[in-house]
């Protein structure tokens, strides 16, 4: 195997004007691929996510989520209401390859840092924008916050059981999906720039990313008479898929069972009550709740490991449902080597995840923790003569 010591985006500079999660997640992925990310923050408080707490844990004065999503970036403190600071930022952008921003529509124009203004000073720039709901329509000025975007996207009606009402995801899925989508667009624009020399404006929104996330089930809805899916009322795991698809309690935990012919599963589990459904695949959906209740009653009689020993050798798609301690202690997770400890000169040390990508067989390694507010301002001003 040929090993390249230089990461693929080495030499590229990203000026990241975004805050919270969506934009910073995008720049994190670019940083993991080798780009230099200069995070622009307010001198008085910095990125608002520094105070966005997921728990009562604080490290070096900042939230764990800020540390997780901003590791190894540089912080450039800029007062956007100060003409001198704004001039420095414009001069920095002149030297950048990528600019990322996730201001509400209209704000970036008032600052004079919208795409056309930036393109005028740096024609080859790849300029990337994330909004809540795009730049037109009645929702433009609504807060582009993850839970609210999930609420408007329809995605909450795919989670949980039918009797539960709308169920949100347990993490900021809209922010992460929008950041990942923007990263894809930036990389494509950089490829085109390498071929044609032309810059680009790449745009997405939380709503667009969440709609795209649903492309399989939404396509079914659009071409199926626009019938709404009905979630299972018992152990639901997918709004459309039939029994046995779901998560079931066992004697000592939970077992996930994916697509499996009922007849085969009934034989392996020795469930005589499933006989009426063996050769009637249509009932696997119409009688979904009844079938799953019968399976659940049987699976609850033995441990998860017992059922795995029965089902896995028969090539039944199933898995034990793990909590984080079990995952982290597993050999399967350990061999992936996805955790790292990053540090800062003021004594901050934090254990966090690593890039999900390997390039030429190697996962990138970083040692620097997320920066203090303005930690690199003086050095950046000196380096670029700002």
Q: 318-358: per-residue pLDDT in tens?
A: 999 999 999 999 999 999 999 999 999 999 999 999 999 99
Hunting for tokens 């921003």 — which residue is that?
A: 101
Q: Of the candidates 326, 299, 322, 297, which has an alpha carbon nearest to the alpha carbon of residue 310?
A: 299
* CATH fold for domain 13-213+338-384: Rossmann fold (3.40.50)
Residue range 266-281: mean pLDDT, rounded: 94
**Is 56 an annotated catalytic residue?**
no
Percentage of the chain with pLDDT > 90? 95
* Alpha-carbon span 276 to 298, nearest angstrom: 17
What pLDDT score was predicted for residue 52? 87
Distance CA 190, CA 51 (A): 33
Between β-strands 254-257 and 349-353, what pairing exists: parallel, antiparallel or unpaired?
A: unpaired
- Alpha-carbon separation of residue 286 from 224, 257, 265 (angstroms): 17, 18, 18
Residues ≥6 apart with Cβ < 8 Å to 333: 327
Alpha carbons 41 and 62: distance in angstroms, whole number: 14
The whole-number pLDDT of residue 294 equals 97
Burial class from Cβ neighbours inside 10 Å (0-12, 13-18, 19+) for residue 148 reads middle
Query: What integer pLDDT is reported at residue 57 of this predicted model?
Result: 87
pLDDT for 137: 94
Span(s) in the chain for CATH 3.30.1540.10: 246-329
Structure tokens at 380: 């950046």
pLDDT confidence band for 268 (50 / 70 / 90): very high
Nearest-CA neighbor of 292 among 361, 350, 339, 246? 246
pLDDT digits (tens, 9 = 90+) for 14-27: 999 999 999 999 99
Lateral strand order in the sheet of 36-41: 74-77, 36-41, 13-16, 98-101, 126-131, 200-205
What pTM was computed for the model? Answer: 0.94
Give residue-wise pLDDT tens across range 187-211: 999 999 999 999 999 999 999 999 9
Q: Whole-angstrom Cα distance, residue 335 to residue 226? A: 45
pLDDT reported for residue 3: 47
What CATH architecture applies to the domain 246-329?
A: 2-Layer Sandwich (3.30)
* 21: nearest Cα among 68, 77, 58: 68
* Percent of the chain residues past pLDDT 70, beyond the cut: 99
Mean pLDDT of all residues belonging to the chain: 95
Catalytic residue among 16, 32, 146, 175: 175
Residues in the chain: 386
Answer for the pair 254, 247: CB distance below 8 angstroms, yes or no. yes
Start and end residues for every CATH 3.40.50.10540 domain found in the chain: 13-213+338-384
Predicted confidence (pLDDT) at residue 306 exceeds the cutoff of 50: yes
Average pLDDT rounded to a whole number, residues 245-271: 96
Please report, for residues 49, 158, 166, 385, the alpha-carbon distance to residue 151 in angstroms, rounded to integers and kept in the order given: 22, 12, 8, 46
pLDDT recorded at residue 4: 55
Give CA–CA dist 338/364, Å, rounded. 10
Four-residue CA torsion sign, 76, 81, 85, 86: positive
User: Can you give the pLDDT at residue 271?
Assistant: 96
- What pLDDT shows up at residue 296? 97
pLDDT (0 to 100) of residue 2: 43
């Amino acid at each position: 195997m040929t090993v390249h010591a230089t990461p693929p985006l080495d030499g590229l500079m990203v000026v990241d004007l975004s805050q919270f999660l969506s934009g910073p997640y995008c720049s994190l992925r670019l940083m993991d691929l080798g780009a230099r990310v200069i995070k622009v923050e307010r001198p008085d408080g910095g990125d608002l996510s520094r105070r966005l707490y997921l728990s009562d844990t604080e490290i070096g004065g900042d939230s764990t989520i800020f540390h997780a999503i901003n590791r190894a970036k540089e912080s450039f403190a800029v007062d956007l209401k100060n003409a001198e600071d704004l001039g420095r930022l414009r001069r920095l952008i002149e030297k950048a390859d990528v600019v990322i921003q996730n201001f509400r529509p209209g704000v970036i124009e008032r600052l004079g840092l919208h795409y056309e203004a930036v393109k005028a000073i740096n024609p080859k720039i790849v300029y990337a924008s994330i909004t809540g709901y795009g730049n037109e329509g009645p929702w433009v000025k609504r807060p582009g916050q993850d839970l609210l975007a999930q609420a408007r996207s329809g995605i909450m009606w795919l989670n949980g059981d039918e009797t539960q009402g709308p169920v949100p995801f347990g993490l900021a899925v809209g922010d992460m999906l929008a950041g990942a989508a923007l990263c894809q667009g930036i990389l494509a624009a950089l490829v085109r720039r390498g071929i044609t020399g032309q810059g680009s404006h790449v745009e997405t929104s939380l709503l667009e990313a969440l709609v795209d996330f649903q492309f399989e089930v939404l396509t079914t809805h659009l071409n199926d008479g626009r019938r709404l899916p009905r979630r299972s009322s018992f152990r639901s795991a997918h709004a459309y898929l039939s029994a046995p698809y779901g998560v079931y309690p066992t004697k000592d935990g939970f077992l996930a069972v994916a697509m499996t012919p009922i007849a085969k599963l009934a034989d392996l589990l020795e469930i005589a009550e499933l006989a009426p459904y063996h050769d009637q695949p249509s009932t696997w959906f119409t009688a979904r709740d009844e079938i799953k209740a019968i399976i659940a009653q049987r699976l609850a009689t033995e441990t998860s490991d017992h059922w795995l020993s029965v089902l896995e050798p028969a090539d039944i798609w199933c898995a034990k449902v793990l909590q984080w301690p079990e995952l982290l202690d597993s050999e399967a997770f350990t061999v992936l080597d996805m955790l790292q400890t990053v540090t800062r000169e003021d004594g901050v040390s934090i254990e966090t995840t690593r890039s999900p990508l390997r390039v030429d067989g190697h996962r990138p390694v970083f040692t620097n923790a997320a920066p203090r507010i303005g930690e690199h301002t003086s050095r950046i001003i000196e380096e670029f003569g700002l």
